[in-house]
A and B are shown apart, each in its own frame.
Chain A
Amino acid sequence: EAQVTQNPRYLITVTGKKLTVTCSQNMNHEYMSWYRQDPGLGLRQIYYSMNVEVTDKGDVPEGYKVSRKEKRNFPLILESPSPNQTSLYFCASSLHRQSNSPLHFGNGTRLTVT
């Protein structure tokens, strides 16, 4: 089944403790992206990747890192999480970057930083 898989689904951590949220897609998609969803703000893009070893900042990249060593994986790294990073995170992928290529979303990771 074609899908975008994120792990974990839920994560509670403390300020400053490094964490990684994994994202994997099995559709051979070139384009991958991370969003955060906050009430009243919709989805805001954190980072995106056009292909292997090519990443770029989205609208809200501060406090996050990503890597794209393989086509299928696009982990989101929080080196020193803070409470304002408490949010619902979504990974998404599409075949390529052109805008007629719909995004496929994972089921989300709900992160709480205390």
Chain B
Amino acid sequence: GEDVEQSLFLSVREGDSSVINCTYTDSSSTYLYWYKQEPGAGLQLLTYIFSNMDMKQDQRLTVLLNKKDKHLSLRIADTQTGDSAIYFCAETTGGGNNNDMRFGAGTRLTVKP
């Protein structure tokens, strides 16, 4: 099957920028998502990007998509301790008519004061 891969851990200092990377293999991916999971909670949608876009910015979050390399990144500016969580990259397959997402294993972000 198609894979979505992420590194499992990232540690940064409060106030620094965090960059979480993701690679995917399905070239027919239409939407790519970033979800945040806080302890004891479900996944919360942070942002998503359509595959014909290169970049999307939303306040402290910047999503970059390199479709040629199938590489997606999430940059969090001025990282705060409240940003500590697991971040999941996900893609939808099936050419836009399918919401059956494939998720990466999640990157655990730890923000040190």
Contact = CB atoms under 8 A, between A and B. Distances in A.
B1 interface: yes
B36 to A, nearest CB: 11
Contact of A97 (B4, B44, B90, B97): B97
Given A59-B1, A97-B97, A99-B97, A42 B103 contact: yes
Contact of A90 (B30, B42, B92): B42
A108 B104 CA distance: 18
Nearest to A6: B42
Nearest to B1: A59
Interface string A84-102: 0000001010101111111
Given A40-B8, A42-B4, A43-B103, A99 B42 contact: no
Interface residues on A, range: 20 to 34
A7 to B, nearest CB: 13
Contact of A45 (B4, B8, B100): B100
Contacts of B10: none
Interface residues of B, number: 29
B97 A4 contact: no
B96 A98 contact: yes
Nearest to A4: B42
A107 B106 contact: no
Contact of B44 (A35, A42, A58, A105): A105
24 contacts: A31-B99, A35-B103, A42-B88, A43-B43, A43-B101, A44-B103, A45-B100, A90-B43, A96-B99, A97-B98, A97-B99, A98-B97, A99-B31, A99-B98, A100-B50, A100-B96, A102-B48, A103-B101, A107-B40, A107-B41, A107-B42, A108-B40, A108-B41, A108-B42
Interface of B: 1, 4, 8, 30-31, 33, 35, 40-45, 48, 50, 88, 90, 92, 94, 96-101, 103-106
Given A92-B42, A103-B99, 15 more contacts: A4-B42, A40-B8, A42-B88, A43-B88, A58-B100, A97-B99, A98-B99, A99-B92, A102-B48, A103-B43, A104-B45, A105-B44, A107-B40, A108-B40, A108-B42
